[in-house]
Each structure stands twice: as C-alpha cells, then as structure tokens.
Amino acid sequence: MFCWGIGDFLIQRTVRKIGNVESLGYIGVIGTIFLLPFVLPELQLVFEPQNALFLFVLGVVTFFIAVIDFEALKQGKLSVVIVVLAVEMPITILLGLVFFRENISFLQFFLIGIIFFGIILTSVSSFSKKLVKNLEKGVLFAFVGAIGMAVVNFLTAAGSKTISPLMAIWVPWVVFTLISLAYLFQKKKLGQFVENGLKFKKLVLAMGVFDTLAWLFFSIAVFGSGIDLPD
C-alpha cells in the first residue's frame, strides 16, 4: 500500500511530463532490470508452453490497461482518480470469490458495498440529468482502467499461485516493455524517450522502483493466500 500510493503519485507527475507509453516503458525497463537477478533461478518456468502463453497474455493485457490508467491520472485530479480506481477492489474480490472459491463475511461484504457507493459519490461532482457531463475529468478512463486492473490483479494472483510470484511480474513486464518500445519506435519517439528519461531521471527512477516494489509485494502477498489488494 505504501509503495502503491507513492508510485501512483509519481506516475501522475511523470505522465504529465513525458507521456503515457513513455512512462510505462520506463517502468518496464527499470522493473525488468531490477528483478532480473532474482528471476534467473526460475527462468526455466518460462519455457513451459502453458506458462509462456499465460504470462504473454498477461503482459499484453497489462500494457493496454496501464495506458488507460495512466491517461486517467494524466487528465484527472489525483485525489479523485485514485478513489475511482479503487473500484478494482470489489471487482477483484468478486473474481477471487468465483474462481478461487474464497469466502468473506457478511460484515466484509457490507463494508465493500459502502466503499463502492462512496466511490460513486466521489466521482460525481454534482447530481443532475446530464450525469456524464458532471463526471470529474479523467473519471471515465479511471472506471474503465479499474475494471481492467481488476482483471490484471486476478491474473497476476493466478500466475503467482500457479507459476511463481517473481515470474508473474517479470515476464509480463518484459512483454509490455517490448510493446512500449516498439510503439515508440514506430512513432519515431525513441530519441525523445531517451532524452526525457535523462532529463527527468530522478523522477523516472523513483517511479519505476516504487511501482515495481508495489507489484512485487502484491504478487508475494497473494502467493498461497487470499487476494488482499495493495491499493
């Protein structure tokens, strides 16, 4: 939770300076290098076809959802967007209940409902017939991103349980890093990507480290246990 809060704050600052895909690319590069020494003993797991396919799909899904998430952070107020992104929590819990056969008490279910209702109230600046126009800027992206992140949370938890916590993070990050770099190359933005990374090196490095730690701790937390969300 600590890493996630700082990471989201740094992501918002970074995407507003260098862009969505660029920020995602740096998170991927930093995370891939940072975790490489730790994943080497488990690298053989990638060569199992079912593991490779699962982790590749997770990487592709993560790329698209992260870009949507970053756009929400770029457009909206951090204090509002982060709360709306918390919609991913009840959705992830629901996925855990259905597919992992987890159980929650009535009180927990009731509290989740209150949180979800509060999220709706926070995201709407005022009530009127033209509801969509009153949504805070970036909130629609945040809602879509929250649903997508719930799927990413679930798939990451599944990968952590069935493959390994480290591989459930590292391989998808290699995938979305390559997609990000390929996109920037196609758009002829690799030079600018490098320049911005050097220009904002402290911000970029801090963002990458905290976001990597947040996902790593989440993967470890759900390994062999229920889905306890990090944010």
Give me the pLDDT at residue 227, please.
Answer: 44
More confident residue, 221 or 147: 147
Query: What is the rounded average pLDDT of the residues 58-77?
Result: 89
Give me the pLDDT at residue 92, please.
Answer: 77
In terms of C-beta density within 10 A (0-12 exposed, 13-18 middle, 19 or more buried), how is residue 221 classed? middle
* Contacts of the segment 46-50: beta carbons below 8 A, 24+ positions apart: 46/167, 46/171
Query: For residue 124, what are the β-bridge partners?
Result: 135
Say whether pTM exceeds 0.75: yes
Measured CA angle at 66 (ends 61, 68), to 5 deg: 105
Residue-wise pLDDT tens digits, 4-22: 889 889 999 999 999 999 9
Give me the pLDDT at residue 122, please.
Answer: 64
Nearest alpha carbon to residue 109 among 123, 124, 89: 89
Average pLDDT, the chain: 84
Confidence at 210, pLDDT banded by 50, 70, 90: very high
